[in-house]
Amino acid sequence: MKRAGIRKASQTVSDHVTSKAGGARPVSIAMVARRAGVSIATVSRVMNGVENKATSETAARVRAAVAALGYRPQSVGRALRQRESRIVGVLAANLGNPAMAAAAASIELALRDAGFVMALCDTHEDPAIQDEYLAEMEAQLARGIVLLVAVPSPRLDQLRAAGRPLVFVNRRDPGDETSPFVGIDDHAAGFAVAQHWLARDKAGPFGLLHASLSFSAGQRRAAGFVAGLVAGGVAEAEILRGTGSGKCHLAIGHAGMGALLAGPRMPRRILCLSDLIAYGAYRRLSEAGLRVPDDVALFGFDDNPLNAWIAPWLSAVKIPYDDFGPVVVATLAALLDEAQAKAGFMPHELVIRGG
Amino acid sequence: MKRAGIRKASQTVSDHVTSKAGGARPVSIAMVARRAGVSIATVSRVMNGVENKATSETAARVRAAVAALGYRPQSVGRALRQRESRIVGVLAANLGNPAMAAAAASIELALRDAGFVMALCDTHEDPAIQDEYLAEMEAQLARGIVLLVAVPSPRLDQLRAAGRPLVFVNRRDPGDETSPFVGIDDHAAGFAVAQHWLARDKAGPFGLLHASLSFSAGQRRAAGFVAGLVAGGVAEAEILRGTGSGKCHLAIGHAGMGALLAGPRMPRRILCLSDLIAYGAYRRLSEAGLRVPDDVALFGFDDNPLNAWIAPWLSAVKIPYDDFGPVVVATLAALLDEAQAKAGFMPHELVIRGG
DNA sequence: TTTTTGAAGGAAAACGATTTCCTCAATCCT
DNA sequence: AGGATTGAGGAAATCGTTTTCCTTCAAAAA
């Protein structure tokens, strides 16, 4: 507790003492300034590359001191002053979903390249948790917030209204479809799957397994699929739907497939609105002794990278999650200085497997 | 720029103005203090539950003001003053690995419960990136750092030496095996797999597919497996090893299995030191027209939750990632106030599938 | 009645950066 | 020569908290 208040005396010596084990204060800008024999203002300016504020000689002295002391500015001090930190909050609905984890990984990489730090949160698609995290990100003075599958919540409305930089990924802003968005054209993708199937054979019935349809992605995928089938001459009654309760897509796929199996007519081609739903359906089919894709063909969404290795029976709409990061960051950047940015559509692709 | 320096005048009115759209400064402790008619010190003390510093009546007034204004302390101010933020850095080697993502999700949940905020980073098992993130976490005044599969790096040595709170998960500290660790007993798990197989049939050869063995987890798993086999009377020469280059376990499994297939004797039972390696091996076997587990039995490590759904052919050592979070946080907490904590072993379990 | 205590609460000093003012020269126009 | 401009750099304000000192006042102890 007796930290000597000496500021003037014995400056040269004290530098060496700082790296002791005990209370070891991290190197501050003041130490650098003392060692370089300049003011902290100058150190700050040199570090931030401000022009015409230091001779090259002074700058060199400062940089030497920085290197010698291993100085690295504390983000906290800077954030306080600038009222803005380098943190970007990423609120994901479910990290257990490999597709979402892949997206998060890609975003993390891109954020890092842009000099941001990602704070990743798992909202479990729960509005209360999402709100809590939104509040926390505000408290952290986060530069922006990326919502990787958002749910409607009061504070989300509030932040949107306040014009905070929000980027929605995969699922559009539930409160305003025109908010900045990065994702595929879900309607077109659903439509493409229908076309793909019809090109081979128009015989129904067709199946559609989905989770909640109250959100943009699912809605659009389903609508596109139905539209594609109808456009190809399939009657709406030929499209059988299945779903399940809860938020776990695996369980939903399992239950939904159970429902289809129990129905009077069993579709031979079934679109699942996520890979996980397809996995659940696959398991249910296996339990029923049916083979995929010989007996029943499944089509998923996302195309989890593992599919190629262990799910060779699953065709899927590939969503290029690995490419999301740069686009998300670009959208965020646009939002930060132009104060507006619009949807960034990613290309999708049909990956056909298993014959 | 002409922010009126009025402190005393017109307090009551100004409160309502704060939530305007434009520059809308977030609610600060000063506003709360003004509205409650107390000093900021008192507000701070009430919020932090300091005893004997406010009558219950004053406290109520403060809380009312907080509620009315929707005040939430900015983490940055607090962090600066306390020289410690509520951020905990989690450095994961590869978020694309579902097992690691699962662990991260579990840790995130537990951190949140304990009032921390997780900053998640992907090091790609690259020492330079790990160092960069370690530095960044220091700059953020992170309360602690969790290394979810660490690699050796200079700054890691430095932080360890400085006594910073570090928790190693899954792979031990490459610089000091006695650092706080959370994970399974890898040696025992490898041993158990050997025992399991020998109980049925002692006929070799056996296979072992692994990535780099320069780190604790792989080393121990392999050593335990070999020890188990040898203890059961299997000759070391009966244990055939395969591996591949690079860091992608899928590719390593694929290549390693290729090597085994090309060898003179093909093992019928193969332990893969991660699920991903097993997936790679599975694909290679499928390409060779071999069936799992009928022709060749595979044993993985991790037991990715998806296994139950789409890899019913894979037995695995289940690592209870979902339970890691609380233990990691407890270890961190112990480290923070007792300044030391030791290994927290998690139980493993053999999950037998496919036959 | 005087002294001690303890509770209640305010003023102000941190914390570590950035940024706004300054000041002081030297150079540049007329 | 004299004013304007520019480059170089320092002092100090600022951001939003927490925490250390104070001061005051009432109740308890002497």
pLDDT digits (tens, 9 = 90+) for B294-349: 999 999 999 999 999 999 999 999 999 999 999 999 999 999 987 677 767 899 99
Report the pLDDT value the prediction gives residue B234, as an integer from 0 to 100. 92
Nearest nucleotide to the CA of B45, by C1', is D18
Bridge partners of residue A182, in order along the sequence: A169, A344
Q: Where does the pLDDT of residue A1 fall: very low under 50, low under 70, confident under 90, or very high at 90 and above? A: very low
Average pLDDT over residues B198-217: 92
CB-based burial, B33-43: b 16+ in 10 Å, e otherwise: bbbbebeeebb
In A48-90, where does DSSP find H-type helix? 56-69, 75-82
Average pLDDT, chain A: 90
A44 Cβ within 7 A of any nucleic strand C atom: yes
Residue B12 has pLDDT above 90, yes or no: no
Report the pLDDT value the prediction gives residue A339, as an integer from 0 to 100. 67
Report the pLDDT value the prediction gives residue A15, as an integer from 0 to 100. 35
pLDDT in tens, B76-88: 999 999 999 999 9
Average pLDDT over residues A70-88: 96
Could you tell me if A160 lies within 8 Å of chain B, comparing CB atoms? no
Max CA separation in chain B (angstroms): 91
Average pLDDT over residues A217-237: 95
Å between CA of A82 and C1' of D14: 10
Nearest to A310 among B112, B136, B282 (CB): B282
Residue B21 has pLDDT above 90, yes or no: no
Structure token digits, residue B323? 């339970």
Q: How deeply is B27 buried, as exposed, middle or buried, from its count of CB atoms within 10 A (0-12, 13-18, 19+)? A: buried
Best A81, A95, A143, A250 residue to mutate vs chain B (most B CBs within 10 Å): A95
Residue A174 has pLDDT above 70, yes or no: yes
Report the pLDDT value the prediction gives residue A355, as an integer from 0 to 100. 58
Distance (Å, rounded) from C-alpha A254 to C-alpha A235? 26
Å between CA of B81 and C1' of D19: 9
Residue A18 has pLDDT above 80, yes or no: no
Could you tell me if B47 lies within 8 Å of chain A, comparing CB atoms? no
pLDDT in tens, B45-60: 999 999 989 999 999 9
CB-based burial, A268-304: b 16+ in 10 Å, e otherwise: bbbbbbbbbbbbbbbbbbeeeeeebbeebbbbbbbbb
Chain D bases closer than 7 angstroms to a protein Cβ: 6-12, 14-20
* Contact criterion met (CB < 8 Å) for B112 and A105: no
Average pLDDT, chain B: 90
Residue A278 has pLDDT above 90, yes or no: yes
